[in-house]
C-alpha cells in the first residue's frame, strides 16, 4: 500500500476554524500546524484581550488539536494592523516575553507591515530585536498592498537588525517577490487562497520554475474565505503536474520543519512518537465532545 504523504501547515489560524476542519485535515495527512498571532477582524481595544488570546494559543488550542491527532504550535507577536495603536502596542510589548518561551511557541510572528506606517515600522523593529536577543525564528507578514516594496523593505529591515535570513520566513509571497526573497537567502512562504494571493495552480508553476529550496506552502486559513486543506490539495496538484515527490515533500512538510525546528520546540518525533488520540482527556474540565462518544486509539491506557 502506498504510504500517505504527511503535511505541515505552517500558517493557519485554527482559532477561527471548526473541529470538522481538524478532522478533515487529519484525514488528508496534516500532522502539525503552526498558528501565528493575528488580528480578529476588528481591532482589540484592551491589552487583556491580547493576553487571553495568547493564552489560548499556548493552552486550549494545542489541546483541541491533539483531540484530532494534530500537533499544534504557534508564533507570538504584535500584528502589524494593531501596531498602529501606540498606547495599546506598548502594553502588548511588555506582555510578549511572558509567552515567547512557552513550549509550543516556535517563532515571533506574524509581524511586519500592513500600511507601512511609522508605528508599524517601530514595532516591527522592536520585535526583531526581541528575536535577535533570544535567537528566535521570525515569521514576517508582507503587506497586501504595494507588496513588492513592502517585501523588499521587510527584508532590508531584518538585515539591518542583523538577523540571519535563514531564521526568517517571509510569508504571503507571489510571483513578483519570490526571486528577491530567495536571492537574499530568506525562506519564502506562499499563502494558498481560493481566489486571491496564490492559487494552487500558480504555486505549482512557482515550484516548477524555482525548485523547492526554502519554499514553503501554507493556507493561512482564517475567519474569511479560505481553505484549511490548501496544503494537501496543492501537494496533490504538484504530483499530478509531474513535480518530483521529494520536492513536494520539501515544500509541504520538510522545509517548514527545518526552519521552525530551529526553535528546538518542534521535532518530527512530536507526532511520529505520539501515543494517539484520547478524547477522554479534559482541558480545564472541558472536552471537545459535548457528550458524544470519545475516540480512544488502540493501546491507550486509562
Q: Is the pLDDT of residue 302 over 50?
A: no
Confidence (pTM): 0.95
CATH number at 7-271:
3.20.20.140
pLDDT confidence of 201, banded at 50, 70, 90? confident
Q: Is the pLDDT of residue 4 over 90?
A: no
pLDDT at res. 1? 34
112-168: pLDDT as tens digits: 999 999 999 999 999 999 999 999 999 999 998 899 999 999 999 999 999 999 999
State the Cα torsion 49-50-55-61 to the nearest 10°.
Answer: 90
pLDDT at res. 121? 98
Provide the CB-side half-sphere exposure for 164 (13 A, CA).
10
Select from 58, 66, 72 the least CA-distant residue to 8.
Answer: 72
pLDDT at res. 197? 53
Euclidean distance between CA atoms 53 and 224, whole angstroms: 18
pLDDT at res. 289? 84
Contact by Cβ (8 Å): 229, 194: no
pLDDT confidence of 196, banded at 50, 70, 90? low
pLDDT confidence of 301, banded at 50, 70, 90? very low
User: Hunting for cell 473541529 — which residue is that?
Assistant: 19
Mean pLDDT of the chain: 93
18-67: pLDDT as tens digits: 999 999 999 999 999 999 999 888 989 999 999 999 999 999 999 999 99
Euclidean distance between CA atoms 182 and 186, whole angstroms: 6
User: Omega before 266 cis (within 30°)?
Assistant: no
Name the percent of the chain lying above pLDDT 90: 84
pLDDT at res. 186? 98
Domain positions in the chain: 7-271
pLDDT at res. 79? 95
250-290: pLDDT as tens digits: 999 999 999 999 999 999 999 999 888 988 998 888 888 88
Q: Is the pLDDT of residue 179 over 90?
A: yes
Q: Is the pLDDT of residue 239 over 70?
A: yes
Amino acid at each position: 500500500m502506498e504510504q500517505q504523504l504527511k503535511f505541515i501547515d505552517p500558517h493557519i489560524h485554527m482559532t477561527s476554524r471548526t473541529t470538522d476542519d481538524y478532522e478533515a485535515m487529519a484525514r488528508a495527512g496534516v500532522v502539525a500546524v503552526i498558528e501565528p498571532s493575528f488580528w480578529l477582524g476588528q481591532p482589540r481595544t484592551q491589552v487583556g484581550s491580547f493576553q487571553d488570546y495568547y493564552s489560548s494559543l499556548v493552552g486550549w488550542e494545542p489541546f483541541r488539536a491533539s483531540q484530532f491527532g494534530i500537533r499544534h504550535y504557534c508564533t507570538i507577536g504584535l500584528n502589524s494592523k494593531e501596531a498602529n495603536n501606540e498606547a495599546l502596542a506598548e502594553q502588548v510589548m511588555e506582555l510578549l516575553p511572558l509567552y515567547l518561551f512557552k513550549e509550543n511557541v516556535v517563532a515571533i510572528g506574524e509581524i511586519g507591515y500592513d500600511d507601512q506606517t511609522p508605528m508599524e515600522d517601530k514595532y516591527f523593529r522592536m520585535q526583531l530585536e526581541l528575536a535577535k536577543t533570544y535567537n528566535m525564528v521570525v515569521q514576517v507578514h508582507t503587506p497586501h498592498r504595494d507588496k513588492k516594496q513592502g517585501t523588499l523593505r521587510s527584508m532590508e529591515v531584518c538585515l539591518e537588525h542583523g538577523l540571519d535570513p535563514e531564521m526568517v520566513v517571509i510569508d504571503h509571497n507571489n510571483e513578483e517577490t519570490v526571486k528577491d526573497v530567495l536571492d537574499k537567502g530568506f525562506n519564502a512562504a506562499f499563502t494558498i487562497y481560493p481566489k486571491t494571493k496564490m492559487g494552487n495552480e500558480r504555486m505549482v508553476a512557482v515550484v516548477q520554475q524555482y525548485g523547492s529550496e526554502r519554499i514553503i506552502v501554507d493556507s493561512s486559513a482564517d475567519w474569511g474565505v479560505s481553505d484549511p486543506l490548501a496544503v494537501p490539495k496543492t501537494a496533490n496538484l504538484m504530483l499530478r503536474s509531474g513535480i518530483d515527490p521529494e520536492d513536494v515533500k520539501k515544500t509541504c512538510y520538510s522545509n517548514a520543519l527545518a526552519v521552525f525546528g530551529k526553535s528546538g520546540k518542534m521535532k518530527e518525533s512530536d507526532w511520529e512518537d505520539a501515543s494517539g488520540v484520547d478524547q477522554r482527556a479534559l482541558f480545564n474540565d472541558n472536552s471537545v465532545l459535548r457528550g458524544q462518544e470519545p475516540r480512544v486509539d488502540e493501546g491507550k491506557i486509562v
